[in-house]
Structure 1
Amino acid sequence: MAHIQHLAEVAVRNLLRDVSTTTDGVLRASDKMDDGSVINLRVEIDLKEGSATFDFEGTPLMVINNLNAPRAITKSAIIYSLKCMVGYDVPLNQGCLAPIHLLIPK
């Protein structure tokens, strides 16, 4: 399992380096949920390390409906998105998140 996780980590680090060379290393996205709440995401990629910080600062706190995403759900969405962007078959595992640092409002 350690070998499989290491391969997933390397795949994601390579993906992040590739993305970083085609951008300034900072990606931003913002989208509205059905209730009008805005989800903000800033991804800062470290080219040298092949790592990234996913920063959700500015995203509203918990809302009174069923649209909240706890930390586990947020990590699940990120890991799946990274796996899809790698471009080749990588088993979905924790290694994909090794180069990722999350900043999520409490």
Structure 2
Amino acid sequence: MVEHYGSDVVQAYMGHVQDNAEAAVRRVLNALPEHGRFQYPFDDGTKIVVHITIDKTTRSATIDFAGTSPQQPTNFNAPFSVCRAAVLYVFRTLVHDPIPLNEGCLRPLDIRAPKGSLLNPDYHAAVAAGNVETSQCVTDALFGALGVLAAAQGTMNSLTFGNGRYQYYETICGGAGAGPGFHGASAVHTHMTNSRLTDPEILEQRFPVLLEKFAIRKGSGGVGASGAAMGW
């Protein structure tokens, strides 16, 4: 592309793409409530706390995770880059225009997470589950603070087994949260997990296992004004 159009033209259009994304997010901010707060508790007492403040004059927002638990001795700590990616994802989903995901979406957003916290741990903290588990909780907390979507599973539903010869890893889909005026979607991967399930036939062909049942778990969704989604 650079050879065909030249570096200046390519750089200019890359800038246009980011400028357009910035403008799209600012339009979204103008339509959201000025203040939102959500607290997401973990089973072990750890919590994610997020405050969202929107300045309608500048059409910008501060996403502040002050009050979130300190980093933990477990591996559920999420590097700040994971937290930032979750924020980017959430605000991009609120843009209805067909824009590509890019850095321009973050220009109106000031993201703050206390140093040494679960979402901005110090070096050497264990972070293996931060991307596949905690990121989902961050996403649910953000949607909750904005008041636009109920929580999904808060996990990627990771399933793994294996031995010296076979290794298998899967993320099992669940239910997407409902929102104002619409129902949740059942049996889908949501938010920060973007993989597709292995077909049962492929699973049984490649691994020494037999899949006895593969179905939606009826009644597994929550109760609310809109229809709740169910998982497997």
Structure 2 length-normalised TM: 0.43
Structure 1 portions without partners, runs of 5+ = none
Q: Which has the higher contact order (CA 8 A, sep 6+)?
A: 1
Deviation at 1:35, TM superposition (A): 2.8
Cα distance between partner residues in 2 of 1:70 and 1:34: 20
| Aligned with 2:68 (options 59, 63, 84) | 59
Answer 1 or 2: which has greater strand percent.
Answer: 1
**Percent sequence identity over aligned pairs:** 38
Cα distance between partner residues in 1 of 2:42 and 2:85: 18
Q: Which moved more, 1:50-59 or 1:87-96?
A: 87-96
Deviation at 1:10, TM superposition (A): 0.4
Residue by residue, what CA displacement relative to the aligned partner does 1:7-49 show, whole Å, maximum 9, x if unpaired?
Answer: 1100101000111xxx3x1111111134321100000000011
Matched position secondary structure for 1:88: coil
Runs of 4+ aligned residues of structure 1 deviating over 2 Å after TM superposition are 33-36
Residue by residue, what CA displacement relative to the aligned partner does 1:44-85 show, whole Å, maximum 9, x if unpaired?
Answer: 000011100001010011111121111100110000111101
Identify the residue that residue 11 of structure 1 maps to in structure 2. 24
Question: How do residues 1-106 of structure 1 correspond to structure 2 at under 5 angstroms?
Answer: 1-19=14-32, 23=33, 25-106=34-115
Cα distance between partner residues in 2 of 1:57 and 1:96: 22
The structure number with the bigger radius of gyration is 2
Matched position secondary structure for 2:51: strand
Structure 2 portions without partners, runs of 5+ = 1-13, 116-232
Cα distance between partner residues in 2 of 1:36 and 1:11: 37
Cα distance between partner residues in 2 of 1:82 and 1:90: 12
Cα distance between partner residues in 1 of 2:99 and 2:80: 23
The RMSD of aligned alpha carbons is 1.0
Cα distance between partner residues in 2 of 1:104 and 1:86: 24
Matched position secondary structure for 1:61: coil
Cα distance between partner residues in 2 of 1:96 and 1:52: 12
Cα distance between partner residues in 2 of 1:6 and 1:35: 42
Structure 1 length-normalised TM: 0.91
